[in-house]
Amino acid sequence: MDKCRAALRLFLSAAAIMLMMGGAASTPALSEGVGPNQAELIRRLLPTVVNIAVKKNEPPAPDVSSANASASPTPPPADAFSNIKSYVGSGFIVDPSGMVVTNYHVVEDAFEITVTLSNGERLPGKMLSASRLADLALVKVQAKHPLAAAHWGDSDKLQVGDQVFAAGDPFGIGLSVSAGIISGLNRDIQNSPYDDLIQTDATINHGNSGGPLFNMQGEVIGVNSTILSPTSGSSGVGFAIPSASAHFVIDQLHTYGWVRPGWIGVKVQTVTGEIADAIGMPRAEGSIVSWVLPNGPAKQAGLAIGDVILRYNGTVPSDERALLRDIAHTQAGGKMTLLVRHQGDEHDIVLAAEEWPRNQWDKNDAPTPVQRPKINVPPNQGLALAPLPPDDRAKLAASAGMNGVLVTNVVPNSDAASRGMASGDIILRVQDKPVATPDEVTEGVNAARADKRAFVLMLILPKTSNVAGPKWVALQLDPTGG
């Protein structure tokens, strides 16, 4: 799920945009009674971490080889299975009922989400709500038992040098842990005007997106989301969305279904040394107003273009990003006091934040609904089957005392393909019954579906394998019959 921008990111990260807005103290997890045994701490936390596998329908790139640049690209074929791609990411459980946090770019445009718990249990997931700008999503799974949940820590208390560890599923190889320290705070990697990322040297790779960054008290203090690297692997420069931002966004998504940021209707930028010199300020500080929207709270309170905001509620924001996060985190109706420099004089302006207009916010932040693509697929889970040729049938009967059905084709990117099945494999059994014809395979698959099973079990004799002999493969059933 990984794509590159200026910086190599995990799974096409929009990373930490727009709602990196402080806040939200959290309940400590495992902070009392935890001894120095790191292995024991990690063992207790791993059940809160999950693998997230998704399927996306990605249209093929347009054909730009034609000399006629204005020509329309060739439409995709009706059978668009070749456009379906599978990706993996990570996440963590925040509520025993089955609420899972991950990056939005992990589940963006996914028509199928599968969440795998640390014990191997696979559960279908549904994206409840998400913020594209914050690159965070809330996924729901239904389990038959309460799930182990992680707890938020306070990223505002972090210091450079603090020990941390990252957990997730890099490259889809399985749940993994890497240790490191906090390498930097409030990092701006030019993803948005709101960047406030934690930098760590704990190894983060493709597949770690959405996984937790833990402190040594077992609290989630970040959501792993981005790396910078000159190669496709980790170079020790990874970034996580701070828990102060992530917890706020997730609470908003859980409560309201969208993020309701405070808004006063201004655009600001950090005062540089050059700007300070130009307007006669003795030193570079604060954020200068470059635009004030008509009829917004700032305009009504008297804030003007060229004013410099020095303080927010008595505190000094570190830069324009911190000021915007403070404003965005202010609840609608909540009052704020801004110390403003206007034409050389300083005075306070008191104003109330409004809720960012929902219709405007949705244009930038609301996820686009995804429908499962309509695809013409062969029956039997994307497997094309044929009777076993007589010579092969005789050899199989002589060596193993059984019959089988030949796999002649496996649809690319199907579940069977993702589990290693290939043309030339022989299906020996479906569930507990031997099969000798394609119809018997179909009957077995349909019987499992009728029993409302999520998977159908097949005994396969692979055409090629590092280990001789058959193996069992559990294929995920499509309830629609495809």
User: Is there a contact between 429 and 474 (Cβ–Cβ < 8 Å)?
Assistant: no
Q: What is the pTM of this model?
A: 0.70
pLDDT of residue 189: 63
User: Is there a contact between 231 and 237 (Cβ–Cβ < 8 Å)?
Assistant: no
**Alpha-carbon Rg for the chain in angstroms:** 27
pLDDT of residue 84: 74
Q: How far is the CA of 26 from the CAs of 48, 223, 421, in angstroms?
A: 17, 15, 46
Domains of the chain: 38-254 (2.40.10.120), 262-355 (2.30.42.10), 379-476 (2.30.42.10)
pLDDT of residue 30: 38
259/361 Cα distance (integer angstroms): 9
Q: What is the DSSP string of 304-372?
A: -TT-EEEEETTB--SSHHHHHHHHHHSPTT-EEEEEEEETTEEEEEEEE-EEPPHHHHHHHHSPPP-PP
Query: Which pLDDT tens digits describe the chain residue by residue (482 residues)?
Result: 443 333 333 333 333 323 333 333 333 333 333 345 888 898 999 999 999 999 887 765 554 443 333 333 334 444 444 567 888 999 999 999 999 999 999 999 898 899 999 999 999 999 999 988 889 999 999 998 999 999 999 988 989 999 999 999 888 888 889 989 998 887 876 555 556 888 998 878 888 899 999 999 999 999 998 776 555 555 568 889 999 989 999 998 998 888 888 889 898 998 989 999 998 999 999 999 998 988 889 999 999 999 999 999 999 998 888 898 889 888 888 899 999 999 889 999 999 998 887 777 777 777 766 666 554 445 566 788 999 888 888 888 777 778 899 999 888 777 788 788 999 999 999 998 999 999 999 999 989 888 888 889 999 999 887 777 889 998 888 655 54
Q: How far is the CA of 13 from the CAs of 16, 129, 173, 236, 250, in angstroms?
A: 8, 17, 21, 18, 17
Helix (H) or strand (E) segment spanning residue 225: strand 220-227
How many other CB atoms sit within 10 Å of the CB of residue 146? 11
Q: Which of 299, 317, 282, 303 is nearest to 348 (CA)?
A: 303
Q: Which of 415, 404, 411 is nearest to 462 (CA)?
A: 404
Q: Active-site positions?
A: 105, 135, 209
> Which residues are 348's β-sheet partners?
339
273: three-class secondary structure by DSSP? helix
Tell me the one-letter amino acid at 432. Answer: D
E-strand ranges in 58-169 read 84-95, 99-102, 110-116, 122-131, 136-141, 163-168
User: Is there a contact between 48 and 169 (Cβ–Cβ < 8 Å)?
Assistant: no
Q: How far is the CA of 177 from the CAs of 47, 171, 420, in angstroms?
A: 12, 13, 26
